[in-house]
Structure 1
């Protein structure tokens, strides 16, 4: 019985779609332009180089909602999320982000959900990003680095990275000695 009702609703909806005539609106009604009915203007900004449209809205004391709409080549994308500052004091700065993306391209579409944690200290930085493609693989990106001063004009730095996407893994390390004469 449920299948019959669902099938009937589907047929009625499809038939209604076929018989609806589209109308063109020549002008907007008066109340649309009336200053009394103006709504809060969103804080949208377009990047002049890429044409991406971004949105940012502060929430509570240390958080904000964000979103981006844009395109790259034949693909269009949308990204939205929430970023929260956990602490920013003598220990350093710790930010946490949760996000979701949707990409539409000629090759299909994909959805990703993810989270990111970033730490920045006086001489250290670290980040971890985990994302999951719906009906697909989970990826993990981790990076950490530190810098130690040597005398007045130099410093030694060490960085490490780890990337995993499904069964594929990648490790990286880099050391550097900078001295300014």
Structure 2
């Protein structure tokens, strides 16, 4: 009886592990950001190969989150992954797909002013990337834009900074956001 119970428990754990693992894959995965090679007025929003979906007129603002990312075989984090999202007036994600939207990325170190307020410091990274669906702005759904630590010029002693993003939508509008808790070092 004990063996049968243990077998049922092991089988249940195996099924749960498979179910969790199945949700950990991404159709597209993160894309690599590139150092700025074109100015924002030269960038264009392009249509991806799928049928475009989404109502960009519902977008009122952007939001951005960052987290450390690990995409090579080394032990340390390789950089950060930037998750820019477009949101409506209620703060909900505006769902869309079928477009490739350019995203400008600037990352700054921080410093303290004479009143001990944290303020924007030195520019440590400037580049661009793209997102191809609303899911690229959700860290739980994969996607995002990779920014390697090796591309950042971080001042000595700085560990955290601010990430500014500007997302360009197909209707010609831009939406900006800032994440004030970006890891600048592994």
TM range (shorter): under 0.3
Q: Which has the larger radius of gyration?
A: 1
Point out the structure with the larger helix share: 2
TM-score between the two structures when normalised by the length of structure 1: 0.22
